[in-house]
Amino acid sequence: MASEMVPLALSPSTIVIREHPKSIRVGKRTGSLLFKAKAFGPNSTVVAPNGSRFEGVTSGPPDPYYELLEAFEADTSDTKVNLWVRAYRVELQPFVLNVVKKAEKLMLEKGEDKEYLPMDGLAEFNKVTAELLFGANNPVIQEGRVATVQALSGTGALHLAAAFIHGNFPNAKALISSPTWSNHKTIFDDAKVPYSEYRHYDPISKQLDFDGMIADIKAAPHGSFVLLHGCAHNPTGMDPTPDQWGKIADIIQEKNHIPFFDVAYQGFASGNLDADAYAVRLFVERGLELLVAQSYGKNLGLYGERIGAINIVCSSSETAVRVKSQLKWLIRPEYSNPPLHGARIVANVVGDPALFNEWKQEVELISRRLKSLRQRLFESLSCKDRSGRDWSFIVKENGIFSLIGLNKAQISNPHGSAYQIAHALAVSVFLILHAFWYVLHCVFVRLSQIDNMRNKWHVYMIKDGRMSLGGLSLSQCEYLADAIRDSFHNVS
Protein backbone atom coordinates (compact mmCIF):
# COMPACT_ATOMS: atom_id res chain seq x y z
CA MET A 1 0.00 0.00 0.00
CA ALA A 2 1.08 3.60 -0.01
CA SER A 3 2.36 3.61 3.56
CA GLU A 4 6.09 3.64 3.90
CA MET A 5 7.60 1.05 6.24
CA VAL A 6 10.25 2.31 8.59
CA PRO A 7 12.54 -0.49 9.75
CA LEU A 8 13.11 -0.30 13.48
CA ALA A 9 14.02 -2.93 16.06
CA LEU A 10 10.53 -3.94 17.20
CA SER A 11 8.68 -7.06 18.22
CA PRO A 12 7.67 -9.26 15.25
CA SER A 13 4.05 -8.11 15.26
CA THR A 14 4.74 -4.43 15.77
CA ILE A 15 5.20 -2.21 12.76
CA VAL A 16 5.69 1.46 12.23
CA ILE A 17 3.80 3.20 9.51
CA ARG A 18 4.69 6.64 8.34
CA GLU A 19 1.31 8.09 7.41
CA HIS A 20 2.28 11.68 7.05
CA PRO A 21 5.67 13.33 7.20
CA LYS A 22 4.79 14.64 10.67
CA SER A 23 2.91 11.74 12.16
CA ILE A 24 4.18 8.27 12.87
CA ARG A 25 1.66 5.69 13.97
CA VAL A 26 2.80 2.57 15.79
CA GLY A 27 0.36 -0.28 15.73
CA LYS A 28 -0.15 -4.00 15.64
CA ARG A 29 -1.63 -5.56 12.57
CA THR A 30 -3.55 -8.78 12.58
CA GLY A 31 -4.65 -11.12 9.85
CA SER A 32 -4.06 -8.75 6.97
CA LEU A 33 -3.35 -10.15 3.54
CA LEU A 34 -1.44 -7.07 2.57
CA PHE A 35 0.47 -6.83 5.83
CA LYS A 36 0.36 -10.41 7.03
CA ALA A 37 1.38 -10.10 10.66
CA LYS A 38 2.67 -13.66 10.82
CA ALA A 39 4.77 -13.08 7.73
CA PHE A 40 6.34 -10.00 9.20
CA GLY A 41 9.62 -9.94 11.03
CA PRO A 42 11.82 -7.05 12.11
CA ASN A 43 13.93 -7.21 8.97
CA SER A 44 17.04 -5.14 8.62
CA THR A 45 17.90 -3.11 5.57
CA VAL A 46 21.56 -4.05 6.07
CA VAL A 47 22.60 -6.27 3.17
CA ALA A 48 22.53 -9.96 4.17
CA PRO A 49 25.59 -12.19 3.48
CA ASN A 50 23.96 -13.62 0.35
CA GLY A 51 23.33 -10.11 -0.94
CA SER A 52 19.55 -9.98 -0.60
CA ARG A 53 17.79 -7.44 1.58
CA PHE A 54 14.68 -9.56 1.40
CA GLU A 55 16.27 -12.71 2.82
CA GLY A 56 14.24 -12.51 6.02
CA VAL A 57 10.89 -12.07 4.28
CA THR A 58 8.75 -15.11 4.92
CA SER A 59 6.15 -16.50 2.50
CA GLY A 60 2.58 -15.34 2.75
CA PRO A 61 -0.12 -17.98 3.12
CA PRO A 62 -1.14 -19.81 -0.07
CA ASP A 63 -4.46 -18.83 -1.63
CA PRO A 64 -6.78 -21.85 -1.72
CA TYR A 65 -8.43 -20.63 -4.94
CA TYR A 66 -5.18 -20.60 -6.84
CA GLU A 67 -4.21 -23.99 -5.46
CA LEU A 68 -7.52 -25.32 -6.80
CA LEU A 69 -6.94 -23.61 -10.14
CA GLU A 70 -3.53 -25.27 -10.50
CA ALA A 71 -4.86 -28.69 -9.53
CA PHE A 72 -7.82 -28.31 -11.89
CA GLU A 73 -5.64 -27.28 -14.82
CA ALA A 74 -3.27 -30.16 -14.18
CA ASP A 75 -6.13 -32.71 -14.11
CA THR A 76 -6.34 -34.41 -17.49
CA SER A 77 -9.70 -36.12 -16.92
CA ASP A 78 -12.35 -35.47 -19.60
CA THR A 79 -15.05 -35.43 -16.97
CA LYS A 80 -13.56 -32.87 -14.58
CA VAL A 81 -16.00 -30.34 -13.19
CA ASN A 82 -15.16 -26.84 -11.98
CA LEU A 83 -17.39 -25.85 -9.07
CA TRP A 84 -15.13 -23.23 -7.56
CA VAL A 85 -14.91 -20.72 -10.40
CA ARG A 86 -16.56 -17.47 -9.33
CA ALA A 87 -17.36 -16.26 -12.84
CA TYR A 88 -20.51 -17.05 -14.77
CA ARG A 89 -19.70 -19.14 -17.82
CA VAL A 90 -21.88 -20.55 -20.57
CA GLU A 91 -21.28 -24.23 -21.26
CA LEU A 92 -17.83 -23.91 -19.67
CA GLN A 93 -16.77 -20.95 -21.81
CA PRO A 94 -16.06 -17.40 -20.55
CA PHE A 95 -18.97 -15.17 -21.47
CA VAL A 96 -18.94 -11.57 -22.69
CA LEU A 97 -22.35 -9.91 -22.72
CA ASN A 98 -23.57 -8.51 -26.06
CA VAL A 99 -24.22 -5.09 -24.54
CA VAL A 100 -20.61 -4.95 -23.40
CA LYS A 101 -19.41 -5.70 -26.92
CA LYS A 102 -21.72 -2.98 -28.29
CA ALA A 103 -20.62 -0.42 -25.70
CA GLU A 104 -16.96 -1.14 -26.46
CA LYS A 105 -17.61 -0.72 -30.18
CA LEU A 106 -19.23 2.66 -29.52
CA MET A 107 -16.31 3.70 -27.37
CA LEU A 108 -13.85 2.75 -30.07
CA GLU A 109 -15.80 4.67 -32.70
CA LYS A 110 -15.87 7.77 -30.48
CA GLY A 111 -12.08 7.48 -30.10
CA GLU A 112 -12.06 8.44 -26.43
CA ASP A 113 -8.89 9.60 -24.69
CA LYS A 114 -6.99 7.85 -21.93
CA GLU A 115 -6.51 10.77 -19.53
CA TYR A 116 -6.69 10.31 -15.76
CA LEU A 117 -10.07 10.26 -14.06
CA PRO A 118 -10.68 12.35 -10.94
CA MET A 119 -10.12 10.63 -7.58
CA ASP A 120 -13.79 9.70 -7.25
CA GLY A 121 -14.01 8.29 -10.77
CA LEU A 122 -16.07 8.93 -13.89
CA ALA A 123 -18.96 11.32 -13.13
CA GLU A 124 -21.33 9.67 -15.64
CA PHE A 125 -20.59 6.29 -14.07
CA ASN A 126 -21.23 7.54 -10.53
CA LYS A 127 -24.54 9.03 -11.63
CA VAL A 128 -25.91 5.92 -13.37
CA THR A 129 -24.62 3.47 -10.81
CA ALA A 130 -26.48 5.23 -7.97
CA GLU A 131 -29.60 5.40 -10.14
CA LEU A 132 -29.41 1.71 -10.91
CA LEU A 133 -29.23 0.92 -7.23
CA PHE A 134 -31.71 3.32 -5.69
CA GLY A 135 -33.92 4.11 -8.71
CA ALA A 136 -33.47 7.38 -10.65
CA ASN A 137 -36.44 9.07 -8.93
CA ASN A 138 -35.43 8.17 -5.42
CA PRO A 139 -35.46 11.28 -3.18
CA VAL A 140 -31.96 10.45 -1.89
CA ILE A 141 -30.68 11.01 -5.42
CA GLN A 142 -32.86 14.04 -6.14
CA GLU A 143 -31.70 15.66 -2.88
CA GLY A 144 -28.01 14.89 -3.47
CA ARG A 145 -27.76 12.77 -0.32
CA VAL A 146 -25.68 9.95 -1.78
CA ALA A 147 -21.89 10.05 -1.75
CA THR A 148 -20.98 7.77 -4.66
CA VAL A 149 -17.40 6.96 -5.54
CA GLN A 150 -16.13 4.61 -8.25
CA ALA A 151 -14.18 1.73 -6.75
CA LEU A 152 -12.01 -1.22 -7.74
CA SER A 153 -14.96 -3.55 -8.18
CA GLY A 154 -16.89 -4.96 -5.22
CA THR A 155 -13.76 -5.86 -3.27
CA GLY A 156 -12.34 -2.35 -3.59
CA ALA A 157 -15.70 -0.82 -2.66
CA LEU A 158 -15.92 -2.96 0.48
CA HIS A 159 -12.35 -2.15 1.41
CA LEU A 160 -12.88 1.58 0.95
CA ALA A 161 -15.96 1.39 3.14
CA ALA A 162 -14.13 -0.60 5.80
CA ALA A 163 -11.27 1.94 5.81
CA PHE A 164 -13.86 4.72 6.05
CA ILE A 165 -15.46 3.00 9.06
CA HIS A 166 -12.10 2.51 10.73
CA GLY A 167 -11.07 6.12 10.18
CA ASN A 168 -14.33 7.75 11.18
CA PHE A 169 -15.86 5.32 13.68
CA PRO A 170 -12.79 3.87 15.44
CA ASN A 171 -14.85 2.19 18.15
CA ALA A 172 -17.47 0.68 15.87
CA LYS A 173 -17.97 -3.01 15.38
CA ALA A 174 -19.14 -4.80 12.26
CA LEU A 175 -21.45 -7.77 12.02
CA ILE A 176 -21.11 -10.24 9.19
CA SER A 177 -23.25 -13.21 8.25
CA SER A 178 -22.29 -16.76 9.10
CA PRO A 179 -21.35 -18.09 6.64
CA THR A 180 -20.22 -15.38 4.27
CA TRP A 181 -17.89 -14.68 1.37
CA SER A 182 -14.48 -15.34 2.94
CA ASN A 183 -13.02 -12.03 1.77
CA HIS A 184 -15.38 -10.09 4.06
CA LYS A 185 -13.31 -11.22 7.02
CA THR A 186 -10.03 -10.47 5.28
CA ILE A 187 -11.23 -6.99 4.36
CA PHE A 188 -12.36 -6.10 7.89
CA ASP A 189 -9.18 -7.60 9.34
CA ASP A 190 -7.09 -5.55 6.98
CA ALA A 191 -8.97 -2.35 7.81
CA LYS A 192 -8.78 -3.23 11.53
CA VAL A 193 -12.54 -3.13 11.99
CA PRO A 194 -13.49 -5.72 14.64
CA TYR A 195 -16.38 -7.94 13.67
CA SER A 196 -18.53 -10.74 14.95
CA GLU A 197 -20.94 -13.01 13.13
CA TYR A 198 -24.70 -13.25 13.01
CA ARG A 199 -26.45 -16.48 12.15
CA HIS A 200 -27.74 -16.54 8.60
CA TYR A 201 -28.19 -20.16 7.66
CA ASP A 202 -29.29 -23.42 9.21
CA PRO A 203 -27.23 -26.21 7.59
CA ILE A 204 -29.68 -28.88 8.76
CA SER A 205 -32.91 -27.41 7.37
CA LYS A 206 -30.93 -25.65 4.60
CA GLN A 207 -32.94 -22.52 5.16
CA LEU A 208 -32.36 -19.01 6.35
CA ASP A 209 -31.91 -19.01 10.14
CA PHE A 210 -34.13 -15.98 10.45
CA ASP A 211 -34.70 -16.17 14.20
CA GLY A 212 -30.96 -16.59 14.82
CA MET A 213 -30.23 -13.67 12.52
CA ILE A 214 -32.67 -11.36 14.29
CA ALA A 215 -31.45 -12.44 17.75
CA ASP A 216 -27.78 -11.84 16.86
CA ILE A 217 -28.42 -8.46 15.23
CA LYS A 218 -30.41 -7.50 18.31
CA ALA A 219 -27.64 -8.62 20.66
CA ALA A 220 -24.92 -6.60 18.88
CA PRO A 221 -23.74 -3.32 20.43
CA HIS A 222 -25.86 -0.29 19.42
CA GLY A 223 -24.60 1.43 16.29
CA SER A 224 -22.88 -1.61 14.75
CA PHE A 225 -22.31 -1.77 11.00
CA VAL A 226 -24.39 -4.73 9.80
CA LEU A 227 -23.11 -6.22 6.56
CA LEU A 228 -26.02 -7.63 4.56
CA HIS A 229 -25.92 -9.39 1.20
CA GLY A 230 -28.38 -7.39 -0.93
CA CYS A 231 -29.41 -10.47 -2.94
CA ALA A 232 -28.13 -13.91 -4.02
CA HIS A 233 -26.26 -14.54 -0.75
CA ASN A 234 -22.75 -15.95 -1.13
CA PRO A 235 -22.34 -18.86 -0.33
CA THR A 236 -25.83 -20.03 0.70
CA GLY A 237 -28.07 -18.63 -2.05
CA MET A 238 -30.64 -18.00 0.71
CA ASP A 239 -32.11 -14.49 0.84
CA PRO A 240 -34.70 -13.07 3.25
CA THR A 241 -38.24 -12.62 1.89
CA PRO A 242 -39.61 -9.05 1.55
CA ASP A 243 -41.46 -9.54 4.83
CA GLN A 244 -38.27 -10.70 6.56
CA TRP A 245 -36.33 -7.75 5.16
CA GLY A 246 -38.94 -5.51 6.79
CA LYS A 247 -38.31 -7.18 10.16
CA ILE A 248 -34.55 -6.92 9.72
CA ALA A 249 -34.98 -3.20 9.02
CA ASP A 250 -37.11 -2.89 12.18
CA ILE A 251 -34.44 -4.39 14.38
CA ILE A 252 -31.66 -2.38 12.74
CA GLN A 253 -33.64 0.81 13.36
CA GLU A 254 -34.41 -0.20 16.94
CA LYS A 255 -30.71 -0.81 17.65
CA ASN A 256 -29.54 2.26 15.76
CA HIS A 257 -27.29 0.05 13.66
CA ILE A 258 -25.92 1.17 10.30
CA PRO A 259 -26.80 -1.14 7.40
CA PHE A 260 -23.96 -1.91 5.04
CA PHE A 261 -25.12 -3.73 1.91
CA ASP A 262 -22.92 -5.77 -0.34
CA VAL A 263 -24.62 -5.89 -3.76
CA ALA A 264 -22.41 -8.07 -5.93
CA TYR A 265 -25.14 -9.92 -7.86
CA GLN A 266 -27.88 -7.40 -8.71
CA GLY A 267 -30.11 -9.16 -11.26
CA PHE A 268 -28.80 -12.68 -10.63
CA ALA A 269 -31.37 -13.60 -7.98
CA SER A 270 -34.68 -12.75 -9.63
CA GLY A 271 -33.50 -11.86 -13.12
CA ASN A 272 -34.77 -8.32 -12.53
CA LEU A 273 -32.41 -5.48 -11.61
CA ASP A 274 -35.09 -3.50 -9.73
CA ALA A 275 -36.44 -6.49 -7.82
CA ASP A 276 -32.92 -7.37 -6.66
CA ALA A 277 -32.50 -3.84 -5.28
CA TYR A 278 -35.60 -4.33 -3.12
CA ALA A 279 -33.83 -4.57 0.24
CA VAL A 280 -31.58 -1.56 -0.35
CA ARG A 281 -34.53 0.57 -1.48
CA LEU A 282 -36.66 -0.55 1.46
CA PHE A 283 -34.01 0.52 3.96
CA VAL A 284 -33.61 3.86 2.15
CA GLU A 285 -37.39 4.36 2.21
CA ARG A 286 -37.26 3.88 5.98
CA GLY A 287 -35.02 6.94 6.14
CA LEU A 288 -31.92 5.00 7.21
CA GLU A 289 -28.40 6.18 6.47
CA LEU A 290 -26.51 3.30 4.92
CA LEU A 291 -23.58 2.05 2.85
CA VAL A 292 -23.81 0.02 -0.34
CA ALA A 293 -20.90 -1.65 -2.13
CA GLN A 294 -21.63 -2.50 -5.77
CA SER A 295 -19.88 -4.73 -8.27
CA TYR A 296 -20.27 -5.07 -12.04
CA GLY A 297 -18.08 -8.15 -12.04
CA LYS A 298 -20.94 -10.59 -12.35
CA ASN A 299 -24.02 -8.85 -13.73
CA LEU A 300 -22.13 -7.17 -16.57
CA GLY A 301 -19.45 -9.84 -16.68
CA LEU A 302 -16.74 -7.19 -16.19
CA TYR A 303 -14.67 -9.34 -13.82
CA GLY A 304 -11.21 -8.21 -14.86
CA GLU A 305 -12.17 -4.57 -15.46
CA ARG A 306 -12.47 -4.09 -11.69
CA ILE A 307 -15.45 -1.79 -11.78
CA GLY A 308 -17.76 -1.10 -8.85
CA ALA A 309 -18.78 1.66 -6.49
CA ILE A 310 -19.30 2.56 -2.87
CA ASN A 311 -22.43 4.57 -2.12
CA ILE A 312 -23.03 6.18 1.26
CA VAL A 313 -26.54 7.50 1.82
CA CYS A 314 -26.51 10.44 4.25
CA SER A 315 -29.21 12.45 5.95
CA SER A 316 -28.26 15.68 4.14
CA SER A 317 -26.44 16.73 0.99
CA GLU A 318 -23.89 18.69 3.10
CA THR A 319 -22.96 15.51 4.97
CA ALA A 320 -22.73 13.61 1.67
CA VAL A 321 -20.18 16.15 0.40
CA ARG A 322 -18.03 15.71 3.51
CA VAL A 323 -18.30 11.93 3.39
CA LYS A 324 -17.28 11.92 -0.26
CA SER A 325 -14.25 14.06 0.52
CA GLN A 326 -13.13 11.48 3.10
CA LEU A 327 -13.53 8.66 0.57
CA LYS A 328 -11.42 10.61 -1.91
CA TRP A 329 -8.65 10.96 0.67
CA LEU A 330 -8.64 7.23 1.17
CA ILE A 331 -8.23 6.78 -2.58
CA ARG A 332 -5.49 9.36 -3.08
CA PRO A 333 -2.57 7.54 -1.43
CA GLU A 334 -3.81 4.12 -2.52
CA TYR A 335 -4.21 4.39 -6.31
CA SER A 336 -4.87 8.10 -6.94
CA ASN A 337 -7.74 7.53 -9.33
CA PRO A 338 -9.59 4.50 -10.70
CA PRO A 339 -9.40 2.83 -14.13
CA LEU A 340 -11.38 4.21 -17.07
CA HIS A 341 -12.46 1.40 -19.33
CA GLY A 342 -14.98 -0.46 -17.17
CA ALA A 343 -16.50 2.80 -15.94
CA ARG A 344 -17.13 3.89 -19.52
CA ILE A 345 -18.71 0.56 -20.38
CA VAL A 346 -21.14 0.83 -17.44
CA ALA A 347 -21.89 4.49 -18.20
CA ASN A 348 -22.66 3.58 -21.82
CA VAL A 349 -24.82 0.58 -21.00
CA VAL A 350 -26.77 1.90 -18.02
CA GLY A 351 -26.94 5.45 -19.38
CA ASP A 352 -28.32 4.51 -22.79
CA PRO A 353 -32.01 3.48 -22.81
CA ALA A 354 -31.63 1.00 -25.70
CA LEU A 355 -28.54 -0.71 -24.31
CA PHE A 356 -30.00 -0.66 -20.81
CA ASN A 357 -33.09 -2.53 -22.03
CA GLU A 358 -30.92 -5.02 -23.82
CA TRP A 359 -28.86 -5.56 -20.68
CA LYS A 360 -32.00 -6.20 -18.65
CA GLN A 361 -32.90 -8.98 -21.08
CA GLU A 362 -29.43 -10.49 -20.91
CA VAL A 363 -29.47 -10.45 -17.11
CA GLU A 364 -32.85 -12.17 -17.16
CA LEU A 365 -31.47 -14.84 -19.47
CA ILE A 366 -28.50 -15.47 -17.16
CA SER A 367 -30.79 -15.79 -14.17
CA ARG A 368 -33.08 -18.17 -16.09
CA ARG A 369 -30.16 -20.31 -17.14
CA LEU A 370 -28.91 -20.52 -13.54
CA LYS A 371 -32.38 -21.64 -12.51
CA SER A 372 -32.46 -24.30 -15.23
CA LEU A 373 -29.08 -25.62 -14.02
CA ARG A 374 -30.52 -25.85 -10.51
CA GLN A 375 -33.62 -27.62 -11.83
CA ARG A 376 -31.56 -30.14 -13.84
CA LEU A 377 -29.30 -30.90 -10.86
CA PHE A 378 -32.27 -31.22 -8.53
CA GLU A 379 -34.03 -33.64 -10.90
CA SER A 380 -30.89 -35.72 -11.44
CA LEU A 381 -30.25 -36.01 -7.69
CA SER A 382 -33.88 -36.79 -6.86
CA CYS A 383 -33.93 -39.49 -9.51
CA LYS A 384 -30.60 -41.13 -8.60
CA ASP A 385 -30.71 -40.81 -4.82
CA ARG A 386 -33.29 -43.16 -3.33
CA SER A 387 -32.42 -42.38 0.30
CA GLY A 388 -35.32 -39.96 0.75
CA ARG A 389 -33.00 -36.97 1.17
CA ASP A 390 -34.75 -33.75 0.20
CA TRP A 391 -32.81 -31.93 -2.53
CA SER A 392 -35.42 -29.24 -3.14
CA PHE A 393 -33.26 -26.61 -1.39
CA ILE A 394 -31.22 -26.46 -4.61
CA VAL A 395 -34.11 -24.91 -6.53
CA LYS A 396 -35.10 -22.62 -3.66
CA GLU A 397 -31.73 -20.88 -3.54
CA ASN A 398 -30.92 -17.74 -5.52
CA GLY A 399 -28.05 -16.82 -7.76
CA ILE A 400 -24.87 -18.63 -8.56
CA PHE A 401 -23.99 -20.46 -5.31
CA SER A 402 -25.26 -23.45 -3.39
CA LEU A 403 -24.08 -25.02 -0.16
CA ILE A 404 -24.58 -28.67 -0.92
CA GLY A 405 -23.60 -29.81 2.60
CA LEU A 406 -20.71 -32.16 1.83
CA ASN A 407 -18.24 -32.40 4.68
CA LYS A 408 -14.65 -31.23 4.59
CA ALA A 409 -11.53 -32.96 5.95
CA GLN A 410 -12.31 -34.85 9.10
CA ILE A 411 -10.20 -36.95 11.40
CA SER A 412 -11.52 -40.35 12.24
CA ASN A 413 -10.65 -41.91 15.58
CA PRO A 414 -10.98 -45.65 15.12
CA HIS A 415 -8.55 -46.48 17.96
CA GLY A 416 -9.92 -44.02 20.51
CA SER A 417 -7.42 -43.03 23.19
CA ALA A 418 -4.48 -44.78 21.48
CA TYR A 419 -4.63 -42.13 18.83
CA GLN A 420 -4.83 -39.33 21.39
CA ILE A 421 -1.91 -40.68 23.40
CA ALA A 422 0.18 -41.00 20.28
CA HIS A 423 -0.75 -37.45 19.38
CA ALA A 424 0.18 -36.14 22.83
CA LEU A 425 3.52 -37.97 22.70
CA ALA A 426 4.24 -36.70 19.26
CA VAL A 427 3.62 -33.07 20.13
CA SER A 428 5.54 -33.22 23.37
CA VAL A 429 8.78 -34.53 21.83
CA PHE A 430 8.30 -32.21 18.96
CA LEU A 431 11.16 -32.50 16.49
CA ILE A 432 11.87 -36.24 16.29
CA LEU A 433 8.36 -37.42 16.88
CA HIS A 434 6.91 -34.93 14.47
CA ALA A 435 7.63 -37.34 11.64
CA PHE A 436 6.09 -40.17 13.63
CA TRP A 437 2.99 -38.07 14.27
CA TYR A 438 2.75 -37.24 10.60
CA VAL A 439 2.69 -40.94 9.68
CA LEU A 440 0.00 -41.61 12.28
CA HIS A 441 -1.97 -38.68 11.00
CA CYS A 442 -1.85 -39.99 7.45
CA VAL A 443 -3.04 -43.40 8.57
CA PHE A 444 -5.95 -42.11 10.61
CA VAL A 445 -7.19 -39.19 8.54
CA ARG A 446 -10.10 -40.30 6.48
CA LEU A 447 -10.98 -38.76 3.16
CA SER A 448 -13.69 -36.16 3.40
CA GLN A 449 -16.65 -36.12 1.06
CA ILE A 450 -15.12 -33.13 -0.69
CA ASP A 451 -11.84 -35.05 -1.14
CA ASN A 452 -13.88 -37.89 -2.64
CA MET A 453 -15.48 -35.48 -5.10
CA ARG A 454 -12.04 -34.42 -6.22
CA ASN A 455 -10.04 -37.64 -6.03
CA LYS A 456 -12.60 -40.02 -7.42
CA TRP A 457 -14.85 -37.82 -9.54
CA HIS A 458 -12.56 -34.94 -10.57
CA VAL A 459 -15.08 -32.45 -9.20
CA TYR A 460 -13.27 -29.40 -7.74
CA MET A 461 -14.86 -27.27 -5.05
CA ILE A 462 -13.71 -25.19 -2.08
CA LYS A 463 -13.56 -26.81 1.33
CA ASP A 464 -16.68 -25.19 2.76
CA GLY A 465 -18.72 -27.24 0.29
CA ARG A 466 -19.83 -24.28 -1.79
CA MET A 467 -20.75 -25.06 -5.38
CA SER A 468 -20.59 -22.32 -7.98
CA LEU A 469 -23.07 -23.12 -10.71
CA GLY A 470 -21.32 -20.58 -12.92
CA GLY A 471 -18.77 -23.22 -13.87
CA LEU A 472 -21.28 -25.99 -14.56
CA SER A 473 -22.79 -27.03 -17.89
CA LEU A 474 -26.25 -28.57 -18.28
CA SER A 475 -24.69 -31.74 -19.66
CA GLN A 476 -22.56 -32.17 -16.51
CA CYS A 477 -25.52 -32.19 -14.10
CA GLU A 478 -26.11 -35.96 -14.23
CA TYR A 479 -22.45 -36.72 -13.67
CA LEU A 480 -22.34 -34.25 -10.81
CA ALA A 481 -25.42 -35.86 -9.27
CA ASP A 482 -23.62 -39.26 -9.38
CA ALA A 483 -20.58 -37.73 -7.67
CA ILE A 484 -22.67 -36.07 -4.95
CA ARG A 485 -24.74 -39.18 -4.29
CA ASP A 486 -21.63 -41.36 -4.05
CA SER A 487 -19.86 -38.90 -1.74
CA PHE A 488 -22.84 -38.59 0.60
CA HIS A 489 -23.53 -42.30 0.83
CA ASN A 490 -20.15 -43.99 0.52
CA VAL A 491 -17.98 -41.53 2.46
CA SER A 492 -18.98 -40.80 6.02
Ligand X SMILES: Cc1ncc(COP(=O)(O)O)c(C=O)c1O
Q: Of the candidates 15, 145, 154, 161, which one interacts with ligand X according to CB under 6 A? A: 154
- Tell whether residue 327 is a contact of ligand X (CB under 6 A): no
**298 carries an active-site annotation:** yes
Using the rule CB under 6 A, which residue among 72, 84, 164, 181 binds ligand X? 181
Per CB under 6 A, the list member of 82, 129, 153, 487 interacting with ligand X is 153
**Shortest distance in whole angstroms from residue 302 CB to ligand X:** 9
Considering only the C-alpha atoms of the chain, give the largest distance between any 2 of them, rounded to a whole number of Å.
75
How many residues sit close enough to ligand X to count as binding (CB under 6 A)? Answer: 13
Q: Which of 102, 173, 206, 298 is catalytic?
A: 298
- Which of 192, 172, 170 lies closest to 30, judged by CA? 192
Catalytic position from the list 84, 102, 120, 181: 181
Least separation in angstroms between CB 415 and ligand X: 42
Least gap, CB of 296 to ligand X (angstroms): 7
| 449 binds ligand X per the rule CB under 6 A | no
Which residue lies nearer to ligand X by CB, 230 or 271? Answer: 230
Q: Which stretch binds ligand X (CB under 6 A): 116-124, 149-157, 212-220, 454-462?
A: 149-157
The interface region with ligand X, picked from 44-52, 67-75, 77-85, 295-303 by CB under 6 A, is 295-303
Residues 40-69 that bind ligand X (CB under 6 A): none
Contact 449, 487 (CB under 8 A): yes
Among the listed residues 40, 86, 310, 344, the single contact to ligand X using CB under 6 A: 86
CA-closest candidate to residue 349, choices 104, 99, 149, 130: 99
Which stretch, 55-63, 148-156, 218-226, 452-460, contacts ligand X (CB under 6 A)? 148-156
- Closer CB to ligand X, 344 or 376, in the complex: 344
Please state, in angstroms and rounded to a whole number, the distance separating the CA atoms of residues 45 and 61. 23
**Active-site annotation holder among 120, 216, 262, 276:** 262
Q: Which residue is nearest to ligand X (CB)?
A: 154
Q: Of 32, 82, 155, 311, which one interacts with ligand X (CB under 6 A)?
A: 155
Task: Pick the binder of ligand X from 262, 289, 305, 362 (CB under 6 A).
Answer: 262
**Could you give phi then psi for residue 333, rounded to 5 degrees?**
-80, -10
Closer Cβ to ligand X, 229 or 376, answer by number: 229
Pair type for strands 401-403 and 466-468: antiparallel
List the one residue from 234, 266, 398, 402 that touches ligand X (CB under 6 A).
Answer: 234
- Exactly one of 297, 301, 338, 465 binds ligand X (CB under 6 A); which one? 297
Q: In this structure, are residues 170 and 336 in contact, taking their beta carbons and an 8 Å threshold?
A: no
Q: How far is the CB of 264 from ligand X (least distance, A)?
A: 4
Closest Cα partner for 341 from 310, 299, 296?
296
Q: Is 270 in the site for ligand X (CB under 6 A)?
A: no
Shortest Cβ distance from residue 159 to ligand X (Å)?
A: 9
Query: In the annotation, is 192 catalytic?
Result: no
Q: Give the interface segment with ligand X, choosing from 15-23, 147-155, 210-218, 461-469 (CB under 6 A).
A: 147-155
CB of 295 to ligand X, least distance (A): 3
Rounded to whole angstroms, the Cα distance separating 346 from 351 reads 8
CB 358 within 8 A of CB 300: no
Stretch near ligand X under the rule CB under 6 A, chosen from 93-101, 153-161, 166-174, 277-285: 153-161
What residues between 182 and 221 interact with ligand X by CB under 6 A?
none
Q: Which residues contact 385 (CB under 8 A, 6 or more apart)?
A: 391, 481, 485, 488, 489
Please, what is the minimum distance in Å from the beta carbon of residue 297 to ligand X?
4
Q: How far is the CB of 444 from ligand X (least distance, A)?
A: 36
Nearer to ligand X, 297 or 483 (CB): 297
Closer residue to ligand X (CB): 176 or 320: 176
Active site (catalytic) residues: 181, 262, 298
Contact residues: ligand X, CB under 6 A: 86, 153-155, 181, 229, 234, 262, 264, 295, 297, 303, 308
